[in-house]
Structure 1
């Protein structure tokens, strides 16, 4: 008996149906992974558990998700190799790459950007830094590859009509979490007290939320706004529409309250982009939306004016176009430094995310005076950042991604189906909201991941019916091999820096210089030997303990351990002047203790090397001055003090050191005059230095028999440092002299307190 036609049809199509089910199951893994990342990256943080509980934790999550995607892709390719053979697979590979590049020019540009990042990492001034990313930034090669994986995964999923909707919904929920938490912080009822130290500059009114910084919160919500509005517009139920519109208002308020000028500019730019794309798509919003939008905007603008942030809000509004504002001047200096890096390293840049390592050579005294202390890790302009760190090759690849994505969005907005046109308007506005704030700031992993997903959706411009996708089967063994390789990479790229951060976080909670504190720092340095911070902190701990130690042999042993740790730090980052100045400081202490073993010339050479790496860093200059003074190299110290005083005339420590040198050389009057200038300059938190300067002034005044001035100067020294016994002795001696010579007071005037 022959099977009927319907039976034959089912049998003929059974393999393809199984393949479709298998492909759907495979797509669900990628689908789930990307959506989890898009939700978790903005909201996931572990403050208190890690030194950097925000961006570092998010990047670790991104790399983990990217490795899952890579394992899945590898399993598919391995299965193809198993079924077709290695040689046929290799013969087909060039054709597949060319066809994919023609079909997906954005993807080809993304691949070129990744290859540029690989080349820049290899040629970096510090390759390990470029691989893992700089502290506080973490935008190294592993992050670049992770973001690229999100682009390719999103593009592979964009054939589904539900993909953009799911991206928007997940992003909207993440935005609700971030905005709600920011609102708690603005209201001063933060349940978890997640704060970021720089927010204190704005009287604690800025909300860092789950992203760790007000600017990042603002940038993320700016990107989400067009997607949230799109969700509200297409919602079938009144309750859903009200909920999405309420989230729109809350997001706008948080953006306004963030005091982020980049976020404000991003909202304006995204609005203009949405209007332009709406005109191109021939879509018109309902008339009722006009009054609703106007009411939300008015309410959002009025609310900050009736809260404690009113003064800060108005001040930031005035600074939007004020190039003389300190933050504007800082950005101009950072941009200039980045462009000079491009001039010196035009092809590949200084290395991915290596702006912080290269910056000391481009530091200016003007920038240091505006924003004192530290070394910036970003150019605060992603275009300049990419050019500086990846050179012209990376810049051209990034520019191609930008142009091709804009073209794809425009094409979908004009020629797509009615549903995709509206989605293109939202996606295009969100991408503009990503780009514009980053021209005066920098992207975060949360915003960059969302941008990659939206670009991947836009890159799927070819009609679905015109493209034949192969349903890749994955055998158990190919999947096991893919997971094994991904696991090996995870243990290399994620676990070591994670263990180091956890150890340092535990060390910070342990008593300073305790055995547990030192042991945890040693663990961190061992887990991530390429990162100079951990061995430098370990060396600093040994140095402080050694300087406090009374027993000479124990002190020497501690100094030896400090030197070993700091030598490892310098070897990991030869360009880092601050770690080298610590090493020179240890050598100075060793030379003072045992000059036969460590010569003064060795100390001089090490300090000079440190200063040459960062000649306009006041911290390095002053540390070098004092280290040279400690071993009796007064003339070398005087040269550096003059260099620092000329660069920073309002900075007190170099003048104080010049006064101390003059006092040691017996030029008492010159010392007193210089010290009187020094004590009235800015100390920048150097309380100990201020105490010693007042004490030196007291000594100089006493030597010149100006006993009242000596007494007053000693009193000032004791205000800064009550335990300074030398100042106490000078004060008591001056009091006795005044009691024995009453006439001295009349001849000295009112003193100089």
Structure 2
């Protein structure tokens, strides 16, 4: 089996188990450096590496520039330096995943891992603990194998459509009759409302791509999926934890700012503070990963997110802006926003190529990237080690697959 398949699958499989995911990532990074040193000329000819490098620099350069007057230089510098492990791991992926067979093998293992997470989540939903005996740390969420870290919903985003691609390829469209409703409902029982919002954008992106490809799903599949989702959803909402989350969200119907703020888990307060931070630091922001340390200077009295950082013994706030555009502007200012816009342009260029080539697996990765990076999401920081690893693996896989001619389909009949 291709070593890239093994290491990427291990990195994803290890994600629920703390920092253990760093080991396969580190090995990939070291091998990526080796590939650059020994196969430089061959890699230079790969357009996938060029665009991946450009995409990486869209995030790394603004982060590096933001260090010039960062709120917390040490934290920012560690982030800027450590980001290179994701880049070199991506180089390894692009270098070693070079055949349709290796891409298909990896898709199979990613699908199996995701199915395991989903099965464990539903077991936890049914009996209160997962198959390892762990209860979710938050009674309003289902965390599956992620235990005290309620990341299950978020971690489904990168590879949900890869699972659907693999299942359809292996078992035909009939497999989707069961999988689509189960996966959609898995997002809802996770309790991650931001992940549900990402799912909406993913569905819309998928619909647009299928329309462009003139790939028509059977009406029976769509109708049955809607019916199964409806029936299963009616059962799911009887769960006490789900009812608690729904009740929390419905507080917004009271109409006041305070009600909307509470219903959004105080995102309005967070974003209002972010805007004050941007106004005061418009060019290169407060420094990458400096948001929580600059936050107290811009927060209003009684702010929900204010607390004392036990390690530094100083006031601190929310970890990040929970919105990718606001994060770019607060941490890196207009320079960060320009980098983000260029990154979106690179993705748009790849989308045109994916659609023209009918590259369905690359399309599946692209839909995952929409879920991760769509500018109207309320999400997790791409500069965090945990989420960053998932995002940069996804991006590397997207570019590797999108330049693979062997994955292109000549007609919709091959779908």
- What TM bracket, shorter-length normalisation? 0.7 to 0.9
Which of the numbers 265, 268, 276 marks the counterpart of 1:332?
268
Which of the numbers 344, 350, 357 marks the counterpart of 1:416?
357
Is 271-280 or 142-151 further displaced after alignment? 142-151
Partners of 1:72 and 1:228 in 2: CA distance:
31
**CA positional deviation for 1:123:** 4.7
State the secondary structure of the residue aligned to 2:338: helix
Which of the numbers 88, 95, 115 marks the counterpart of 1:156?
95
Which of the numbers 432, 436, 457 marks the counterpart of 2:400?
457
Larger Rg: 1
Partners of 2:252 and 2:197 in 1: CA distance:
9
Aligned to 1:440: 378
> Is 1:128 equivalent to 2:74 in the alignment?
yes
Which of the numbers 185, 188, 203 marks the counterpart of 2:128?
188
Aligned to 2:145: 210
Partners of 1:207 and 1:431 in 2: CA distance:
23
Partners of 1:273 and 1:31 in 2: CA distance:
27
> Is 1:261 equivalent to 2:193 in the alignment?
yes
Decide whether aligned partners of structure 1 residues 233 and 167 sit closer, same or farther in structure 2, where only a CA change above 3 A counts. same
Aligned to 2:292: 356
Deviations 1:126-180 (CA, angstroms, capped at 9, x unpaired)? 2321244xxxxxxx33553333334433433554223443343222222123223
What pairs up with 1:240-251 in 2 under 5 angstroms? Answer: 242=175, 246-251=178-183
> Is 1:68 equivalent to 2:68 in the alignment?
no
Aligned to 1:33: 7
- Give the count of matched residue pairs: 390
**CA positional deviation for 1:377:** 0.9
**CA positional deviation for 1:62:** 6.0
Decide whether aligned partners of structure 1 residues 349 and 193 sit closer, same or farther in structure 2, where only a CA change above 3 A counts. farther
What pairs up with 1:538-617 in 2 under 5 angstroms? Answer: none
Aligned to 1:116: 62
Partners of 2:48 and 2:131 in 1: CA distance:
52
Decide whether aligned partners of structure 1 residues 111 and 212 sit closer, same or farther in structure 2, where only a CA change above 3 A counts. farther
Q: Is the 8 A contact 1:106 1:400 kept in 2?
A: no
State the secondary structure of the residue aligned to 2:336: helix
The runs of 5 or more residues in structure 2 that have no matched partner are 309-316, 382-386, 409-415
Decide whether aligned partners of structure 1 residues 385 and 221 sit closer, same or farther in structure 2, where only a CA change above 3 A counts. same
Taking structure 2 as the reference length, what is the TM-score of the superposition? Answer: 0.79
Partners of 2:376 and 2:148 in 1: CA distance:
14
Partners of 2:3 and 2:376 in 1: CA distance:
32
Q: Is the 8 A contact 1:127 1:351 kept in 2?
A: yes
The runs of 5 or more residues in structure 1 that have no matched partner are 1-24, 46-53, 81-91, 133-139, 466-753
**CA positional deviation for 1:66:** 4.3
State the secondary structure of the residue aligned to 2:284: coil
Partners of 2:242 and 2:80 in 1: CA distance:
41
Deviations 1:635-656 (CA, angstroms, capped at 9, x unpaired)? xxxxxxxxxxxxxxxxxxxxxx
Decide whether aligned partners of structure 1 residues 147 and 122 sit closer, same or farther in structure 2, where only a CA change above 3 A counts. farther
Which of the numbers 145, 151, 163 marks the counterpart of 2:84?
145
Taking structure 1 as the reference length, what is the TM-score of the superposition? Answer: 0.46
Partners of 2:145 and 2:81 in 1: CA distance:
22
Aligned to 1:282: 214
Q: Is the 8 A contact 1:114 1:148 kept in 2?
A: no
Is 374-383 or 273-282 further displaced after alignment? 374-383
Q: Is the 8 A contact 2:181 2:226 kept in 1?
A: no
Decide whether aligned partners of structure 1 residues 36 and 283 sit closer, same or farther in structure 2, where only a CA change above 3 A counts. same
Aligned to 1:387: 329
Partners of 1:62 and 1:316 in 2: CA distance:
39
- RMSD of aligned alpha carbons: 3.6
**CA positional deviation for 1:191:** 5.0
